[in-house]
Amino acid sequence: MKFIVNTSTLLEKLQMVMGTITSKPLLPILDHFLFDIQNGQLMISSTDLETSMSTGLSVEADGNLKIAVPSRLTMDTLKSLPAQPVTFNIDTKTNGIEIRSEFGRYKLAGQPGSDFPKLPELDAEQSITMSQGVLLGSISKTIFATGNDDLRLSLTGVYVQLTEDDATFVATDANRLVRCIRKDIKPGIEQNFILPKKALNLLKSSLKDTDDVVRLDFNSSNAFFSYGDIQLICRFIDERYPDYNAVIPEDNPNKLVISREEFLQSVRRINIFSNKSTHQIRLKISGSEMSISAEDYDMSNEATERLSCEYTGEDIEIGFNARLLIEMLSGMYSDQVQFELSTPNRAGIMVPTENEENEDLLMLIMPMMLNAN
């Protein structure tokens, strides 16, 4: 059996689903794509048993078949060829694959399609829709704040809380927290779940910032995302998410308004001189001026900058991790940000002075204990 396809078209589709394949798969066949051809439609699937992804395209085929194709060897071959039609000849008895191009032929060994793990079937209990741009923005503004500690598995994903009138996305690694409320998502249901980071990164790289619709179907264990010609299925993180509202301080009398870009660039420069293990910087705010400084006593490095700001409240000196602060400031898009502080040992709140339409964004960062000068 054979089918004909353009190299660049096929490569583009393979790159979409390549992200689920790990370097050390649990089973050898998980290092393969599943090619399922039915009536001239090629459906390409990949999985790591937790996250699965599929996409399709039309091909010129003389029959139907399922075969597992080595992922990296196939992609490397296609990458090395210019855009041109290639013919895949499949021996259905031996699962041998021969790729023919205008330059020559290349043989590789496939595996029976029947041995490929069966992907979860859509048996959703509930569903919602939203635009690709809204979902992409919600992921982009939260995923960086997720944790990496497998001992605190719930913090390694993004918590999604659905209500009748909006959807809230929350991420935290216990040192910072981001909460993004989207009022232009109208779920019409009360539900919550934790989406794993790997699936979110795949969504982030394949979603488009458009009004095109994403359909999310889900049951008690899996989420099914459908958008364009892509389907992504992921298993929820089966853990209880901490009460994030309990850690957001409400009484923050000290308020600072400052240019986001100027503050971000200053923190980046000062961080160069901070201790390489703690990345601690010191903010000293008094009147309409903020001093940003860092010192690395082991290397005899130090730096100080001053920025003008609008500040109401008592003079304060507080320490933060510069790397976390840089990521948070980079995740905002407003011209100015407002810091809300209380004391040097309590969490600081950062919000944009102007939220995007239908969005309510809040970021929290825990302070670091300052050494006496």
**315 burial via Cβ count (<10 Å: 0-12, 13-18, 19+):** exposed
Mean pLDDT of 39-48: 96
Please give the CATH number for the structural domain made up of 127-245: 3.10.150.10
Task: Quote the mean pLDDT of the chain.
Answer: 94
- Measured CA to CA, the distance from residue 60 to residue 57 in angstroms comes to 10
Topology of 248-365 in CATH? DNA Polymerase III; Chain A, domain 2 (3.10.150)
What pLDDT is recorded for position 141? Answer: 95
pLDDT class of 371 with cuts at 50, 70, 90? confident
Q: Is 10 in contact with 224 (CB distance < 8 Å)?
A: no
Q: What is the CATH number of domain 2-115?
A: 3.10.150.10
Q: What are the sequence ranges of the domains in the chain?
A: 2-115, 127-245, 248-365
The count of residues in the chain is 373
Return the higher-pLDDT residue of 122 and 254: 254
**Which pLDDT value is given to residue 373?**
53
pLDDT of residue 361: 96
- Rounded CA-CA distance 254/249 in Å is 12
Q: Do domains 2-115 and 127-245 have the same CATH topology?
A: yes
β-strand partners of 3: 61, 88
Q: Can you give the pLDDT at residue 85?
A: 96
Position 121 confidence tier, pLDDT thresholds 50, 70, 90? confident
Q: What is the pLDDT of residues 148-192, one digit of tens each?
A: 998 999 999 999 999 999 999 999 999 999 999 999 999 999 999
Mean of the pLDDT values across residues 24-37?
94
Look at residue 32 in the predicted model and tell me its pLDDT: 97
Query: What percent of the chain clears pLDDT 90, i.e. is strictly above it?
Result: 91
Q: Is the pLDDT of residue 313 over 60?
A: yes
Helix (H, G, I), strand (E, B) or coil at 329: helix
Amino acid identity at 213: V
Summarize the confidence of residues 248-266 as an average pLDDT: 94
